[in-house]
Amino acid sequence: MNTVPDDMERRLRETLDTLAAGVHPARDAYRTARGDWRRRERRRRIVLALLVAVVFTVAVAIGLWVLNQAPAGNGAIFTEPAAAAVHPDGRG
């Protein structure tokens, strides 16, 4: 493995410190950033609410359509006439 001279580490630290010292935040950085977060959060919530509403509406519409497609007559189990379904001894 290569050995790194201490001088190189020191120079790198100095250079990075000097470079970092030249970066200054804008004065209204917080206000700008906060406005952006709030706008994005509001948009995210609206999109989420719309999505939930659309999914709910579609689910309800599909459910209603399926119910509407059900046959109007008696089901397959209750094919016999109502009178025949009564037990002979009258116990139902």
Question: Looking at 20, 70, 82, 83, which residue binds another protein (CB under 8 A)?
Answer: 20
Binding to another protein by CB under 8 A, coded x per residue (else -) over 27-66, reads: --xx-xxx-xx--xx--x----------------------
Q: Does 6 bind another protein (CB under 8 A)?
A: no
3-state secondary structure 10-35: HHHHHHHHHHHHCCCCCCCHHHHHHH
Q: Which residues contact 86 (CB under 8 A, 6 or more apart)?
A: 92
Q: Does 25 bind another protein (CB under 8 A)?
A: yes
